[in-house]
Chain A
Amino acid sequence: MKKYWKSTEELSEMVQQNSPVRTGEQEPEFSVEGLDEAEIKQGLKSNRRDFLKMLGFSVGFASLATSCETPVRKAIPYLTKPEEVTPGIANHYASTYFDGHDYASLVVKVREGRPIKIEGNELSSITQGGTSARIQASVLSLYDGNRQQFPLKNGEHSDYSTIDKDVKTKLGEIAAKGGKTVILSSTVISPSTKQLFEAFKEKYPGSEVVYYDAISYSAMKKANKETFGKKTLPAYHFDNAEIIVGFNCDFLGTWLSPIEFSAQYAKTRDLTNGNKKMSKHYQFESYLSLTGSNADVRYPIKPSEEKTVLLNLYNYIAGKSSMDILKAGKSPVDISKLADELMSHPSKSLIVSGTNDVSIQVLVNGINFLLANLGGTLEFERNLQIKNGCDHAFANLVNEMNEGKVDALIMYNVNPGYDYVDAEKFINGMKKTGLTVSLSSKNDETAKHANYVCPDNHYLESWNDAEPYNNLYSIAQPTIHNIFDTRQAQESLMAWAGIEGNYHDFIQKYWEENLFGKQSEYLLFTDFWNNSVQKGIFETDAETIECPLFDFDYFNRAGADFTKVKAGGDIELVLYESIAIGPGIMANNPWLQELPDPMSKAVWDNYVAVSPRFAKDKGWEQEDVVKVNASIELPILIQPGQPYGTVSIALGYGRTDCGKVGNGIGKNAFGLGETNGDLRSYSNLSATIEKTGETYPLATTQTHHDMKGREIVKETTIAEYAMNQAAGNESHKLTMDKSETMYPEYEFPGAHWGLAVDFNKCTGCNACVVGCQAENNVAVIGKEEVKNRRIMHWIRIDRYFSTETDEINSPVVSENPEVLHQPVMCQQCDNAPCENVCPVAAVLHTKEGLNAMVYNRCIGTRYCMNNCPYRVRRFNWYRYLDNDKFDYNFNDDISKMVLNPDVVVRERGVNEKCTFCVQRIQEKKLVAKDENRPLRDGEIIPACVQACPTKALTFGDTNLKGSELNKKFEDQRAYGLLEDLHTVPSVQYLTKVRNKDAGHQGEKHHS
């Protein structure tokens, strides 16, 4: 029958009418659409069976295909969830860092039982929430697989009970025969540990404690004793000083308590809130230190000249104060202007010297006294206790050991086998000592020669207390269970001293007996204790004491020798602590090894720094290998700022037994220092340097050092600033006035994040760099890759030199350039050049003004890197995770525990960059949302801002009226880097103001 239809609808209706349901035929069980009748009939015969067969096959195949080689990931759930642990939420515990060298009060961020980040404790009146690069990095040392993982007896794996038995027996025998047991320790600031030492001494009569510091401050204490009658270090108050004079004293970087001093120093440089006065900082130094780089006036002097300068300064001031003057040679620099300035600021100046020389420290004391600084900028009511080592006592000990007079030596937190000036002598002495026990956490250069090694816990695994200044206490609490079979040193001593219980109880007991009574807030000790542990600190007033008087009679007692100045040779050598490695305790920390030196920007090596002019005269070139004092071979690094006739070498390198990362990096320079009597000197006045003819490649992260006349870091002088707050920053207004766009400007309805960097406060200390690295899982890539200029740091500190002249061989360019430090992180441009060029839209702008990077969308064209004028984008050139070629901290299960679970570890081939710590922003936003309130100003603190000891960085919401950030943004010193490109950066820099007389610094660049 022919069918006529008018539309497809009609046709389909007709088809339906013919369907089996309508026609009454049985519909097949399974859909047979698309088959013709014959096929259906044939197919229906065994349709159900076929279906089952097919089903069986497909299920079977699918399970086979998917079950083979499926990686098994073990996740162990909490059977009983600890009360305080919520997966995904970090816990913060107050703690304290003290490694015998640096001190800081901390808050430790713990995620799922793993400490992952160190933050400063804002409650501490000492470090005030600041940290340093090394302290930021210390969390990685917790997960150092090269720590000694179990106790050793004569180098063999042993256990604590055996060792305890042996040691106790031997100590008992020694005590019984009246022998000598020595506890050799680095400075201990834990009052409980000190008490423990006392208990130990009681148990084993005839034993004594010798304190030894790799970086010694013995001379200061001796000078204080001789002239002020106080064998202590004073408390310094740089914040009270209007004139600061440093002599070879890196108080912003490494000297005594740099975090504290940096904070104080920055306060005197603060020009926000309408302040128009700032301190004036003079620095006399023999190498370009971090502190010297921040000085307003810097004098490069040789180490041998320091005393002459001080003698002249003393004489000038003493003369004006009608005191006796001392015999002095001619000063290499004219100090009269400085001295007049000092005298016009009575009790408002501070002279400090970092030289371990009694006569120099006596002169410093004398000058400070004459300027009435005692009680103002330094005082003895509080004593800085973090340096207690005595060179004399240690030298005696080494001699006695070599004479076989010491029967037992227990070493706590020391490594003289590496860092003593005559390490070999010490090790020989150890061999002549009957019983040597090391409590080192590593089987290091010293411990490997000991009979017994009872590895100490990491500080994050330990209870401890600290008293860095008298009556300012802080507490360290464990944030993780011992990772390895280690035992806290104090508990080892307790075991040997026969004290029952654990160290926690011991501290508690000490606090109950000694500190509980010093307060009246808490009636119950448990409350007091819990509160102190929670806050991490307990601070009480110190007793008032009378201001000590300078004992001028000392000059008579010291006689003619006092004014003798040791002449320097052809080349004078300076040894210094580098910002990253310091005395080398954490040399196995890859974050620190890859931290660019603030001055040379070199990583993974130490070197002989020499000024361009001196190098030219001597015929040395960068990377030439030279032999220093016929003992160690190091490459030359041309370092503007190094005084002529001197070279400098960083300490802390050349470790041989610290672990896979630090072993063999650089050379050990501790042995190059001279000893002056018993005192260790960190210089060598007659060094010899010979070229070997070889070269050695150095890796630096910066190779061009001047700004090429561009307005990158803007600067002015205080006089200009006082007249015009926009001085040096005139172009900002011009640029802003001319800034126009054809496109509609995007409004940010909610928050809009921004960051301000105050050049007056930033000292270039690098704490932010490591803080960022820890927070954001930034990879370590090793020397070779840094040399290829692929460093991964999300925040870098650009360092520029500037001088009035560009004559390369002029003394000022070669030995005394001005230095500028500029932290550069992603500027989160609102008109970001990187965003529009990404072909796959992996770079986007968020509603809060952040420049978001979508890692899993990135295909790695690197177009964004190319189009970023700030060069803050980083590319994963290789796979840095689980790659044996990058065996740093991303390659084993233990060190990977440090990774922040909130931040993804980037894959090979993707681009990455600073996010303003978006994970922290998100966290605080959720907290605020939970509490149904707007975000508070300053609530969100990115890692770099948190780490900064000087509060040079301010983070906040530019849409929030009156926020701290907006105060900075509205300051007339504020400008955006490369703002004339109309990138509209969310980071603003505040012009650097120098407290110096001559000329407008900004102008001299325009050539």
Chain B
Amino acid sequence: MYKKSVRGILIKGNKTYGEITEQVLASQEKKAPLWWYFAMFVFSVMFLAGIWAIAMTIKEGIGLWGNNNNVAWGWAIINFVWWIGIGHAGTAFSIFLLVLRQRWRTSINRAAEAMTVFAVLAAGLFPMIHMGRIWNAFFIFPYPNTRGPLWVNFNSPLFWDVVAISTYLFTSAAFWYLGMLPDLATVRDRSKSKIKRKIYDIASFGWVGSARSWLRYEVTAVIVGGVAAPLVIAVHSIVAMDFATSVFPGWHTTIFPPYFVVGAIFSGFAMVLTLMIVIKVAFKLDDFVTEGHLDAIGRILTFVSLIMGSSYATEIFIAWYSGVEGEMFTFFHNRITGEYAFQFWAMVTCNAIIPQLFWFKKVRRSLLMLFIISIIINIGMWFERFNIVVTSLSKDFLPATWVEYHATNIEILTYLGTIGLFGVGVLLFIRYIPMMAMNELKMVNKPTSTIDK
């Protein structure tokens, strides 16, 4: 379209299509490296520990958590929002960059979408186990029934959550899977084992690669992408409304929906960065995930970090400007100072200050710095959710009821369990699914790798 690409070379090494296939599929066609088994073991143990913690919670009751009469939501909701935020990146990445014609997305979008699916799965666990009576969880769906009929409360943001998250999960899973069809067919075609061929044949819906298939396929991908795009905005806006529609100081603000969406993109992109660095290093895919890619993510993170910083400042300003006693207390005496000052300043430092290092090209080009900062951002985002959930609840309107909240081991294990679930999911993805969209890579290969040559 344009004569000169601003992005430069996207896939280095002047590869042929065959080489792309070879190199991307190397991770699953060769024997798995030792570290893969080791990582699998670690994440599985975490996952099993999480399952044990969840089983205990379901057996004994939510009493095993650190929640109390005042802080009725705790780590479970923090982690839910955190995972949902991370789960934003995949679809946001694919779709927004698609719309913005950012072709550098092609080597990253598959992994980002996979990550979304696992993160949303991990996130979806929390509202479920968080219920006092999980065996009645189906009450939350509006289904025809003989009880009146009795419907759900359409006014409740929690119900919107159910709708938004389940829609998002299915849509992003569908989008991800749809993008995979031609690649799965490639795996099938290269496979020598009969069983594997059969499995991948079914998985690729018997893809034949005819011109008609490609035509339909591309149209469908755009449509699903188009449907998913507003969901990205909607999901986290609705999660934000869980808080924003309440009456609590620190929650009751109109800034929450955009602030949450930006925060979600922030944490999601950081997670993408973490993951891509791991993939790049582990599978030596330097030609596909180039410095340019990481640089671009770094630039985006810098920008988003500024938005985060100004959101924090806005919140504090509005608390002061509104003159509401409770808001003033929450922000000035329970976050900036007071018992939860550490968590607040951890959030500010991790999210608004440290990412500013990305202004320096050296930092953006250093794998180690990128990796560390990407992790720091997600730690910061966890603290942000902690700030929101716990500080507002623990000290609210009537001081007589104020109480601190401390997570118990069961809650910590549950959280580790979801990290385990995520890790296991990602590891399986690396092994069994083409982790880069080969077909799309091939589309950008020629135009971008030949320029400036």
Q: Assess whether A547 is interfacial by the CB under 8 Å rule.
A: no
Contact of A704 with B400 in the complex, beta carbons under 8 Å? yes
Contact of A865 with B72 in the complex, beta carbons under 8 Å? yes
Q: Assess whether B335 is interfacial by the CB under 8 Å rule.
A: no
Query: Which one of A407-415, A436-444, A902-910 contacts B?
Result: A902-910
Q: Assess whether B63 is interfacial by the CB under 8 Å rule.
A: yes
From residue 807 to 851 of chain A, which have CB atoms closer than 8 A to chain B? 822, 824, 833, 836-841
Given A839-B159, A840-B152, A909 contacting B62 (CB threshold 8 A): yes
- Inter-chain CB contacts under 8 Å: number: 164
Q: Assess whether A785 is interfacial by the CB under 8 Å rule.
A: yes
Contacts of A798 in B (CB 8 A): 398, 400-401
From residue 759 to 811 of chain A, which have CB atoms closer than 8 A to chain B? 785, 788-791, 796, 798-800
Query: Which one of A12-20, A165-173, A259-267, A871-879 contacts B?
Result: A871-879
Given A710-B325, A841-B152, A867 contacting B63 (CB threshold 8 A): no
Contacts of A788 in B (CB 8 A): 63, 66, 68
A822, A833, A871, A978: the one within 8 Å of B246 (CB): A833
Query: Which one of B92-100, B132-140, B214-222 contacts A?
Result: B132-140
In the complex, which residue of chain B has the Cβ closest to the Cβ of A866? B72
Contacts of A873 in B (CB 8 A): 69
A836, A839, A869, A879: the one within 8 Å of B61 (CB): A879
In the complex, which residue of chain A has the Cβ closest to the Cβ of B60? A878
Contact of A789 with B132 in the complex, beta carbons under 8 Å? no
Q: Assess whether A857 is interfacial by the CB under 8 Å rule.
A: yes
Q: Assess whether B223 is interfacial by the CB under 8 Å rule.
A: no
Instruction: Report A869-908 CB contacts with B as 1/0, cut-off 8 Å.
Output: 1110111111100000000000000000000000000011
State the CA gap A909–B64 with chains docked (Å).
Answer: 12
Q: Assess whether B236 is interfacial by the CB under 8 Å rule.
A: no
Q: Assess whether B199 is interfacial by the CB under 8 Å rule.
A: no
From residue 344 to 402 of chain B, which have CB atoms closer than 8 A to chain A? 393, 395-402
Contacts of B155 in A (CB 8 A): 836-837
Chain B interface extent, by class:
35 or more
Most chain A CB within 10 A, of B248, B395, B397, is at: B397
Tell me the interface secondary structure of chain B in the complex.
loop
Contacts of A709 in B (CB 8 A): 325
State the CA gap A799–B399 with chains docked (Å).
Answer: 10
In the complex, which residue of chain B has the Cβ closest to the Cβ of A844? B153
In the complex, which residue of chain B has the Cβ closest to the Cβ of A876? B132
Q: Chain A nearest CB: distance from B193 CB in Å?
A: 44
B150, B152, B325, B393: the one within 8 Å of A866 (CB): B393
Contact of A911 with B132 in the complex, beta carbons under 8 Å? yes
Q: Assess whether B156 is interfacial by the CB under 8 Å rule.
A: yes
State the CA gap A838–B152 with chains docked (Å).
Answer: 9
Contact of A908 with B61 in the complex, beta carbons under 8 Å? yes
The number of chain A residues with a CB under 8 A from chain B is: 57
Contact of B396 with A869 in the complex, beta carbons under 8 Å? yes
Q: Chain A nearest CB: distance from B67 CB in Å?
A: 7
Instruction: Report A971-994 CB contacts with B as 1/0, cut-off 8 Å.
Output: 000000110010100000000000
Q: Chain B nearest CB: distance from A782 CB in Å?
A: 11
Given A790-B69, A865-B69, A867-B248, A878 contacting B61 (CB threshold 8 A): yes
In the complex, which residue of chain A has the Cβ closest to the Cβ of B392? A866
State the CA gap A840–B155 with chains docked (Å).
Answer: 10
Contacts of B130 in A (CB 8 A): 861-862
Given A839-B156, A839-B159, A877-B61, A708 contacting B329 (CB threshold 8 A): yes
Q: Assess whether A858 is interfacial by the CB under 8 Å rule.
A: yes
Given A840-B140, A840-B152, A878-B63, A863 contacting B158 (CB threshold 8 A): yes
Q: Assess whether B403 is interfacial by the CB under 8 Å rule.
A: yes
From residue 123 to 180 of chain B, which have CB atoms closer than 8 A to chain A? 127, 130-134, 136-137, 139-140, 150-153, 155-159, 161-162
Contact of B398 with A860 in the complex, beta carbons under 8 Å? no
Q: Assess whether B245 is interfacial by the CB under 8 Å rule.
A: yes
Q: Assess whether A706 is interfacial by the CB under 8 Å rule.
A: yes
A789, A833, A909, A977: the one within 8 Å of B70 (CB): A789
A791, A836, A877: the one within 8 Å of B63 (CB): A877
Q: Assess whether A712 is interfacial by the CB under 8 Å rule.
A: yes
Q: Enumerate chain B interface residues (CB-CB to A < 8 A).
A: 60-63, 66-70, 72-73, 127, 130-134, 136-137, 139-140, 150-153, 155-159, 161-162, 242, 245-248, 325, 329, 393, 395-403
> Closest 6 interchain pairs by CB?
A860-B132, A909-B132, A877-B63, A798-B400, A789-B68, A862-B72
Given A862-B62, A878-B61, 6 further pairs, Cβ under 8 A: A788-B66, A789-B69, A837-B157, A841-B152, A863-B156, A873-B69
